[in-house]
Amino acid sequence: MRNDAVTRATFDQVMVPNYNPQAMVPVRGEGVRVWDQDGCEYIDLAGGIAVNALGHCHPRLVAALKEQANKLWHLSNVFTNEPALRLAKQLTEATFADKVFFCNSGAEANEAAFKLVRKYAYDHVGPEKHEIISFNQSFHGRTLFTVSVGGQKKYREGFEPVPAGITHVPFNDIDALKAVISDKTCAVVMEPIQGEGGIIPADPEFARQVRELCDQHNALLVFDEIQTGVGRTGELYAYMGLGVTPDILTSAKALGGGFPVGAMLVSDKVAGSFGFGTHGSTYGGNPLACAVAGEAIEIINDRALLDGVKQKHQQFVEGLQAINAKHAIFSEIRGKGLLIGAELVEAWHGKAAQFLAAARDEGLMLLVAGPNVLRMAPSLVIGDADIAEGLARLERAVAKTLANA
């Protein structure tokens, strides 16, 4: 039974159809290369959706995982453990945060943050201060609370009733925020760069004014850095480049370099509202996850590596511009560091997924961000030759997609 052959067709037989994976089944990865069941090779510019920040099977992450695997796998939070304590020290030393809460995914980190902002307001003001403001097109995860705070209606539809007291306003529009923020607002939640929403960076002046409005109304500012964090933008966290410090920051995706882990980073001011027994997670702070994440942070929080991310950004943008000069397919190239979005020209809106299939045929793993934007979120240590080869494959995929239209 365990040895029965499994293929893409097996997915449709035994998996809930909430995903529609590509036709091939990857079986092995090394750096930015991946091989499928048929031995075909791919260049991975998807990075597991901004997760595999050091590529596949980075030797130091493999070593950290193996070392911990021979020591201790799991304890629960009835006991603490060394890898979790070390990772919390690394994260608090490297950021604004004084305290850390660990969990297993991005949605869980946001769930903790959204519960904490309500609890903090409840403790310090009262239950009427419970309103959360977030932005249209934002994405914060797939639990009921996180789809409610997220600004994309399609993720809520059919799941109502959803939690109340949440307002959405246009992103990068400070007047829209001014019109709804009040002393009943307990928090404003934003991504420094909207990821799933189409790679839309926050205007730094907008972010600065959001911080000011939060302070005026005694509301907390939550940065969802699940996609932008851990070196992705060329800073350890994107807030550092933006020059605006949140009260709460959520991190996941790249934090474990491919091992599931999430974290909520907070200032001392707010940490106290999660007193003993108020929140928890059985797996949160798991020693295997924290050992790998500790090693990932150790490698990534390095000025030379982070400067490299900024240089690679330039290479990608120049390569995408060259593709555009030939094919006139992109209306805008956006993003920071190695979180890059190329919006398709109007005639191709709604058809971004077609490029994914064409890319796969050319040996390239690519992402979309919504129906109109091609997205790349590769390894932060991708080499120059792999960038060039990846872009060459992308150009062939673009040419073929256009030729077949």
Ligand X SMILES: *Cc1c(COP(=O)(O)O)cnc(C)c1O
Catalytic residue annotation: 139, 224, 253
| Interface mask toward ligand X for 155-194; x: CB under 6 A | ------------------------------------x---
What's the closest the beta carbon of residue 105 comes to ligand X, in angstroms?
Answer: 4
- Per CB under 6 A, the list member of 43, 46, 187, 226 interacting with ligand X is 226
Nearer to ligand X, 379 or 401 (CB): 379
Per residue, what are the HEC states of 309-364? HHHHHHHHHHHHHHHHHHHCCEEEEEEECCEEEEEECHHHCCCHHHHHHHHHHCCE
And the tokens for 320? 């995408």
DSSP characters over 173-197: -HHHHHHH--TTEEEEEE-SEETTT
Cα–Cα distance, 62 to 41 (Å, whole number): 21
Inter-residue contact 295 to 90 (CB < 8 Å)? no
| Interface mask toward ligand X for 232-261; x: CB under 6 A | --------------------xx--------
Q: Enumerate the β-bridge partners of residue 26.
A: 36
Number of residues near ligand X (by CB under 6 A): 15
DSSP characters over 255-272: GGTTS--EEEEE-HHHHT
- Per CB under 6 A, the list member of 56, 58, 130, 140 interacting with ligand X is 140
Q: Does 378 engage in binding with ligand X (CB under 6 A)?
A: no
- Per CB under 6 A, the list member of 31, 48, 141, 192 interacting with ligand X is 141
Q: Enumerate the β-bridge partners of residue 6.
A: none
Stretch that binds ligand X, among 26-34, 62-70, 134-142, 364-372 (CB under 6 A): 134-142
Nearer to ligand X, 196 or 362 (CB): 196
And the tokens for 382? 């991708």
Residues that bind ligand X (CB under 6 A): 105-107, 110, 139-141, 191, 195-196, 224, 226-227, 252-253
